[in-house]
Chains A and B, each alone.
Chain A
Amino acid sequence: ETGVTQTPRHLVMGMTNKKSLKCEQHLGHNAMYWYKQSAKKPLELMFVYNFKEQTENNSVPSRFSPECPNSSHLFLHLHTLQPEDSALYLCASSQEGLSSPLHFGNGTRLTVT
């Protein structure tokens, strides 16, 4: 148990579907992150939220839309994805402003058909 819970664990969606990934952290942190891990590639940072405000968008296509309603919850809304978007999507949280580490969830394995 990492204190960061992601749902669903697995998701299969068609290219015309709309779906959302959910992340919840129980650690009292004030920063949250989305990372993408494609097969045989390093983890790639997608978005950073600090005190519910988006502070970084790492040139992510608009078919990925993040939402951070409060410091404990983070969503990634997906629409009109491509097969190459199939990957493990990881959420993390940390206490911003300190050297405290990021804590990761176990990810959502997304397959786009």
Chain B
Amino acid sequence: DAGVIQSPRHEVTEMGQEVTLRCKPISGHDYLFWYRQTMMRGLELLIYFNNNVPIDDSGMPEDRFSAKMPNASFSTLKIQPSEPRDSAVYFCASSFGQYTYEQYFGPGTRLTVT
């Protein structure tokens, strides 16, 4: 398996624009997690899905953030409108089982909002 795939790897956009980040989890994994990493706050869980259903989105910072998982092999994280404080590295991770087993992380998307 190619591991967790994220695209794009880098995104630079202007404030107010819509940003869509994409993730393909490892085949067979039933949990998918979206994280955000910044120097100030470290790594934070935004939302996670089980069998394509959102389970906990309490980490989503504002209504400007939304996430979907239309099928077992694809998820998106959308920010609309984007703001400079959204600049961070966004990671997607997947696992078989919630936390009993290891989480496998993608390479991340580095988002810069100017």
Do A and B belong to a common assembly? no
